[in-house]
Structure 1
Amino acid sequence: MATVADVTDATFQDEVLKSDKPVIVDFWAEWCGPCRMLSPILDQIADEHDSVKVVKVNVDENQGIAAQYGITSIPAVYVFKAGEHVATSIGAKPKQIIEKEFAEYL
């Protein structure tokens, strides 16, 4: 079972930008209902796709990274590959939609 790691302002560069495989980053907050709906879907994707790493960034606790990437709506799910932001999905969506949007990275 793959674990979805919590990433902070301090660990973002090492965990995401320097990763040797694509990284799905879930920008979320405790108070966000749609974020809570999306979380188990991203857990499933992490379990089912070894080719990608899935991490979470709490935007309330890590405002530097959230500001750097212009996060204004959550949940915001970004894909990073080779240190570059390459894809975005905003809002809670069914698993099959997320997998379709990010198919080339899974």
Structure 2
Amino acid sequence: MSMNIEYAKTAPERAEIDALSGPTVVEFGTDWCGFCRAAQPLIAQAFQSHRAVKHIKIEDGSGRPLGRSFRVKLWPTLVFMLGGKEVARLVRPGDVSEIRDALALIDEPLAQ
């Protein structure tokens, strides 16, 4: 699987996220967020060597239950999960290496 480029307007239920078995990154943000837009090239670069990781990109905002269940306060927030459990979290990542490091906690990188 590759990186999603659009934020889903409709979020899955928290129980559905918790039931995922493989490596997953849940990204919270919005299309109009400057921090979110600035992070996209970094996220894309990091995902190039982690194509097996599922990427769920969710539009977040006030009153959105999935983001609140993860206690998201700032965008973008990336939640790195393995077997439905949170392993790492990055808020407003500014460097591709920190995203790669978090991805390495949930997935083996592809040989380059």
TM-score (norm 1): 0.78
Q: Which has the larger radius of gyration?
A: 2
Matches within 5 A, 1:18-97: 18-60=19-61, 63-97=64-98
Percent identity, aligned pairs only, is 21
Distance, in Å, in 1 between the alignment partners of 2:24 and 2:89 is 12
Alignment RMSD (CA, Å): 2.5
For structure 1, the residue ranges without an aligned partner over 5 or more in a row are none
Residue identity matched to 1:68: S
Name 2:110's counterpart in structure 1.
none
Output one character per residue of 1:30-83: Cα deviation in whole Å (capped at 9) or x when no partner: 221111011232233333213311221110387110111111111111112111
Name 2:12's counterpart in structure 1.
10
Shift of 1:100: 1.8
Name 1:99's counterpart in structure 2.
100
Aligned residues: 105
Identify, as 1 or 2, the structure richer in helix. Answer: 1
TM-score (norm 2): 0.74
Evaluate the alpha carbon distance shift between residue 47 and residue 101 of structure 1 in structure 2; reply closer, same or farther with a 3 A threshold. Answer: closer
